[in-house]
Structure 1
Amino acid sequence: MAWWQSRGTSHYSPADLYLTRLMDVTIAAWLFWIGSSIGSFLNVVAWRMPRNQSVNGRSYCPRCNTRLKARDNFPVFGWLALRGRCRTCRLPISPRYPIVEAAVGISITLVGIAEIYRLSLPYQNQHWHGGPLWVPMVDQAVLVTLLYHVIAIALSWAMGLIRMDGHPLPRRLSTTAAVMLVGGMLIFPTVMVVPWQMQVPANWRADGLHVDAVMRVITALVAATFLGRCLARGLCIGADPKLDPLGKSTIRLIDLITMIAVPALVLGWQSLAAVLVVGACITLGLGRVLPKSTDMLGRFAIAMPITLCLSILFWRPLHAAGFWPSDGSSPWVLLTAAALLLFTPTWLRERQTLPPEVLPLEEAEDHDSDQADSTVLEN
């Protein structure tokens, strides 16, 4: 960056800008340290919370239950230093731990840089970044908004990791998300970033608009519920909150709506349909990366924090683009995004296994013979 900013001028050389640009390196390193540490904690949450264990206390080896030393618990690099094995029992430790730490760290680092340097958020004062005096502009609104987004990203990652493992979302996690995200927006309306209305003045600011914050929360939750039911045709086949409120498919639907509510609160109801379409496309790509045992809802759950981070990073250019639904967009743009979302269950459809009593006669007989063969093999 120092070389790029000093080219074409004789007033200063790259060496004159090294100390200035060192500030950028410090900010990026600090953000990655915080983000990867959050990722390390989310590994604990994803393992312990579905098992009703406390998330407090030091991390330990899942093989021999030995507590990890402080230097071994260093995010990402601790696992690399141990070469993926426990220092005590020398048994392998899953590479999932550093992968999650790195993924969360990178996502929070990118979002933090984009917001501290005012590169991503709409309705925000901008400044030129091309010269040697490129510095972050931080005030209370920026810090509160960044903290809110970091919490939302962390909660979205936690939900994705738990659902990827096939566990239903713990009630403690859903309650924490509701308190942090809904309560945070009602207390600090600044974190709305964009309004809940479709038409606002060009100089719109969210400071002090508590009534608008209430409407923003209501519209976001209604949109998440409605669009979640649309996706349920593929991800939660058979869900029926009225006739089967405690059924497995209904629980999957509730988890789906909860995961969708996070980007709905952060980004607003206007762009939610387009965000979910992008998330559905990312879900298809994750099929080649995640374990084959991960079901479609688990893949979609991991796609949600990735989509949320990308949406925040490119929020300003997308907000100004005519094809992306947002406040000020044409109703036809919103309807087009909603129509595209209606087609996503065709490629996100979860494979459904029916019991023998509802299968056709020939399939039921084949199912019974397969069960008999498996019983003989077990005996």
Structure 2
Amino acid sequence: MGRRRRSIPWALVLAITLACIATAYVFGMAWLQSRGTSHYSPADLYLTRLMDVAIAAWLFWIGSSIGSFLNVVAWRMPRNQSVNGRSYCPRCSTRLKARDNFPVFGWLALRGRCRTCRLPISPRYPIVEAAVGISITWVGIAEIYRLSLPYQNQHWHGGPLWIPVVDRSMMITLLYHVIAIALSWAMGLIRMDGHALPRRLSSTAAVIMVGGMLLFPTVMVVPWQMQVPASWRGDGLYVDALMRVITALVAATFLGRCLARGLCVGADPKLDPLGKSTIRLVDLITIIAIPALVLGWQSLPAVLFVAACIALGLGRVLPSSTDMLGRFAVAVPITLCLSVVFWRPLHAAAYWPSDGSSPWVLLAAAALVLITPAWLRERQPLGGQSLPFHEPNDHDSAAADSTVSKN
């Protein structure tokens, strides 16, 4: 008889790999920054570079934990189940241990199977945890180190004393953006599974996103007007915050109706307010409203165009059962994250629509949105009618994914 082949401990391999990358960053960056100067030695910079690693690790742990919770939201909320309580296996109903519930590493340590019943756990769980963790880490680093937001005092980071700058305004803005990205991911995951957005999720998003901006106008980042002074700041501008909310929601509704020609064919809120196509349209507008509130109505057309391009590419990655609206819904949080991380250079770019841009740039971006339904369209049979939309049930989802409900 041959020897039993040992499986590779992938959790340990990943931990060692990340530790090596962090060590190389600390020593390598300290050495690079101390070259050519007699004021600093590499040893003087180890602590500051170690601070960078600690911040990145903390942000990824927070983000991946949020991703773990979003897996619960995407599984339970469309089924009218409570998102509270311990995680459990839907096959054997065994509660997961704390060490098995650790984001990404828990799945790797279990080798993708439930510890009790040994049935497979869908790889979707660690993928979502990693994707949300990476997106929140990028946004957190970009904002903590003052690299991304426009209308913010410039802070040079090229020298050896590259350190984060933290204040009350930045923390409120970062928290607002993290919540927005988390809500956007939740909506994308639910629509990817073919479920309509639960009212609880939509109402929670409305209260947090709208109420947060009205209570803390500093999270506007950019104004709702087209021309403002270079020293503009949103602190205390409550009327401007209200106008920012109104213009964002109006833009989301208008552009959602434009995209409905491809994603929600047949939607008619007047004659068929409870129809599936109309529900899809309402979900589409709700999904679009998140980046509209975060980034402003000026940049929304360009953001949606980029999201449409990403959605086209996601067809090779997502399951074949995912419809085009599901692909677009997943592309929105990806685009939102990239837009926040590169907000400052995009805001300064001549051909990216933003406040201060030429009206022709805004019109060109809007025209791009109008042509996106040409490829952002659901498949149609030979008769010309849209394919019936199938709402997956619990049995179908469990059989297809062999998933484990995690928290």
Give TM-score, length-normalised by structure 1.
0.93
Amino acid across the alignment from 1:137: V
User: How far does residue 64 in structure 1 lie from its aligned partner after superposition?
Assistant: 1.2
Correspondence list, 1:291-370, <5 A: 291-352=319-380
Verify the 8 A CA contact 2:213 2:220 in the aligned structure 1.
yes
Aligned to 2:141: 113
CA–CA separation in structure 2 for the residues paired with 1:11 and 1:356? 73
Contact 1:236 1:253 in 2 (8 A): yes
What residue in structure 1 maps to residue 8 of structure 2?
Answer: none
CA distance in 2, matches of 1:285, 1:175: 31
Question: Is 1:121–1:315's contact at 8 Å kept on the other side of the alignment?
Answer: yes
RMSD: 1.5
What residue in structure 2 maps to residue 23 of structure 1?
A: 51
Amino acid at match of 1:64: C
Q: Would you say how many aligned residue pairs link Structure 1 and Structure 2?
A: 359
Q: Which residue among 308, 313, 328 is the counterpart of 1:280?
A: 308
Match of 2:182 in 1: 154
* C-alpha contact (below 8 Å) 2:378/2:386 kept by paired residues: no
Alpha-carbon distance between aligned partners in 1 of 2:259 and 2:31, rounded to the nearest angstrom: 49
Shift of 1:353: 5.1
Counterpart position of 2:260? 232
Q: Distance in 1 between matches of 2:385 and 2:240?
A: 52
1:192 is matched with which residue: 220, 237, 241?
220
After superposing on structure 2, the runs of 4+ consecutive aligned residues of structure 1 that deviate more than 6 Å are 354-359
Distance 2:384 2:289 in 1: 36
Partners of 2:384 and 2:111 in 1: CA distance: 48
Whether 1:61 aligns to 2:89 is: yes
Matches of 2:305 and 2:36 in 1, distance apart?
44
- Is 1:46–2:74 an aligned residue pair? yes
1:137 is matched with which residue? 165
Kept in 1: contact 2:379–2:386 (CA 8 A): no
Partners of 2:37 and 2:89 lie apart in 1 by 56
Give me the TM-score of the superposition, normalised by structure 2: 0.86
Deviations along 1:100-137, one digit per CA (max 9) or x if unpaired, are: 00000000000000000000000001211111211101
Deviation readout 1:40-97 (Å, 9 max, x if unpaired)? 0000000000000000001111221110000000000011111111110111100000
Q: Give the AA of the match of 1:26.
A: A
Contact map agreement 1:166 1:294 (CA 8 A) in 2: yes
Match for 1:265: what amino acid?
L
Post-superposition offset of 1:352 = 3.3
Instruction: Classify the secondary structure of the residue corresponding to 2:317.
Output: coil
Residue 7 (structure 1) shift: 1.9
Matched residues in 1 for 2:40 and 2:166: separation? 27
- Give distance in 1, aligned partners of 2:103 and 2:78: 22
1:206 to 209, 227, 234: 234
Q: Identify the residue that residue 221 of structure 1 maps to in structure 2.
A: 249
C-alpha displacement of 1:167? 0.1
SS in 2 for 1:72: helix
Q: Secondary structure at the match of 2:99?
A: coil
What secondary structure is seen at the aligned counterpart in 2 of 1:306?
helix
**1:3 Cα deviation from its structure 2 partner:** 2.2
Q: Which residue of 2 aligns with 1:257?
A: 285
Deviation per residue, 1:240-292 (Å, 9 max, x gap): 11111100000000000000000000000001000000000000111110001
User: SS at 1:230's partner residue?
Assistant: helix
In structure 2, do the counterparts of structure 1 residues 357 and 310 end up closer, same or farther at CA, with 3 Å as the change threshold?
Answer: closer
Contact 1:196 1:216 in 2 (8 A): yes
Is 2:188 aligned against 1:170? no
Superposition deviation, residue 297 in structure 1: 0.3
- Structure 2, gaps ≥5 residues long: 1-28, 388-407
Specify the SS of the correspondent of 2:351.
coil
Percentage identity across paired residues of the two chains = 88
CA contact (8 A) 1:237 1:352 kept: no
Counterpart Cα distance in 2 of 1:13 and 1:291: 52
- Find the counterpart in structure 2 of residue 35 from structure 1: 63
Residue 356 of structure 1, CA deviation: 11
3-state DSSP of counterpart to 2:108: helix
The equivalent of 1:82 in structure 2 is: 110
